[in-house]
Amino acid sequence: MRQALFVAFLLALPSGAAVRSRGESPGRRIVIPRFYKPSAKPPAGSRHYFDKLISEPNYREFRDATVELLGRYPPDRHYFIGVGRSPAPIIALLQNIDEGLARNFPASGLRIEQPERLLREHAVDYFHHFGELIPEHVLHGDRDIVLVDRSVPGSGQSVRVLGELLREYLRVRGSPVEVELVGFSERPLQEGVNWIDISGADAMRGLNDEAWEDNLSEFGQHYIGRDNLATLKARPQYGEMRRFMRERMRTDRMLDKMLQKIPGLELVGAEPVEPEPAPKLSALKKRLGAEPLLTVQSKHGTFNYLSRVEYKSLRDGALELLRRYPPEQYSYLGVGRSSTALVALFSVFGATVAYFPADGLGKKEPPNAVALFAPYFQRFAPAGFPANGKKLLLVKHSDSGDSLDTLQNILGQYLRNVRSNAQVEVVNIGNPAPGTTRPFLVAGTRALTELDGDQYKAVSPLPHFKIGETKDSRLKPNPEFDRYLDAVRLRALEDEDLQDRLPASLRRALQ
């Protein structure tokens, strides 16, 4: 009888309920730069399978995206629901932080559906799922619901459709809870759906691959209106994935520091993960005040990094670059290993930056330079460039500046060939250089004059690579760069002056 009343009530509703979401705004770009590609995957469910699929770099992408989500939607005021199978690792991370933060909601096939038809034909089924799967204290609580999905670029249809159905259900039940919509995607989504940019994050972009959807999501395919709720079973692989993810979290010194920056997290019972010693991070000191913060042994020697004095010198140089070349107008491309420190700083600050492996380039262009360099521009360009309409700033440390001028000419020709009007500018970190190279040197900052030293070869994102001579098989990511990146982030998080000195568009990056 109750279900029949629901149907009669819903059939009387006007079709096409309006989309309503409080405080919606265009999604701020979060660029999560990584230099790792997902590798071939061993048999599903094996320990080696998890080691590959949730590798250190992939885990860090999931972590950074989850922290961004929590920063935008404070957990004392929001409850997170993953739509379908693709957001499984994000929901797993949230549940590992606090079981009361999130849950998965099985809803397949929403991309091709319209909410008006579902309201007429399957409202009782959807309402039954909402009532059974979403905790009662959430449905009538004081937190809004955030629907989370890995969305197709430019779409967001699945999360929008489910959002309209859930809003109607909450309205019928007289609940004051509101619904927010967000999708992880490479481009902005349809009106009413906020977005978090993952265009620079390989693992996040791959969340709708079969490795996640078919093997590790909490539930398999489930079509509401066709499949009975009684047949819905949680899969053991999801629990195994959560346990493996928890191991990563326990050895992640950065996570505890990042979570402390999330407002309201302690109000829902989250406890910081107690860091445990990890061989990969053993050189990081337990105290931020330790000098140095990071020690790396390599074939080039043993090097210490990021004392407070060194960090402040590098930070001041990076901030001056951002002041002269503001992130609202520029994307940044670090050229060769001497750009390592600035690539790391810009990444931590939230600027759109990438690393370009072009060592050994001189004043003379190699034969067929544009055709030779084009595949590497396409592969290593900053996220969104040149379509984002920004200028591109090439940055490196160079004695003469010749290599920057040469690369500027090659890239300029390439952009003209692809009918782009994007402009390319260069800046040389070092002594004044002739030609178009713009010298940049802060007096007395020794750290900036040593960017081409052996210490940065040891932590560069990629090894020495000369386009046209070095084989592509040499382009293997350097794990020491991730350690260096974490150390930079730790220094930035303890830097009380940084937020006030960052450009306004980047001030949320570290929150």
| pTM of the full structure | 0.51
Tens of pLDDT, residues 324-359: 899 999 999 999 888 899 999 999 898 999 999 988
* 3 state SS of 204: helix
Residue 112 pLDDT: 66
Residue ranges of the domains in the chain? Answer: 2-12+28-268, 294-506
Residue from 224, 442, 177, 209 nearest 317 by CA: 442
What's the rounded Cα separation, in Å, for the pair 131 and 148?
A: 19
Q: What Å distances lie between residue 417 and 92, 212, 390, 433, CA to CA? A: 45, 39, 18, 29
pLDDT on residue 188: 93
294-506 topology per CATH: Rossmann fold (3.40.50)
Annotate 298-356 with DSSP letters as a single string.
ETTEEEEE--HHHHHHHHHHHHHHHHHS-TTTEEEEEESGGGHHHHHHHHHHT--EEEE
Residue 443's pLDDT is 39
pLDDT at 364: 83
The encoded tokens of residue 411 equal 């890239």
Q: What is the pLDDT of residue 113?
A: 60
User: In which residue ranges of the chain is pLDDT below 70?
Assistant: 1-48, 112-113, 115, 211, 264-292, 399-400, 430-449, 508-511
Largest CA distance in the chain: 84
For tokens 């397949």, what's the residue? Answer: 108
pLDDT per position as a tens digit, 240-282:
889 888 888 888 888 888 888 787 664 333 333 333 333 333 3
The partner residues of 364 in beta bridges, in order of sequence, read none
pLDDT reported for residue 508:
60
- Burial of 96 per CB tally in 10 Å (0-12, 13-18, 19+): buried
> Within 13 A of 369's CA, how many CA atoms are on the CB side?
18
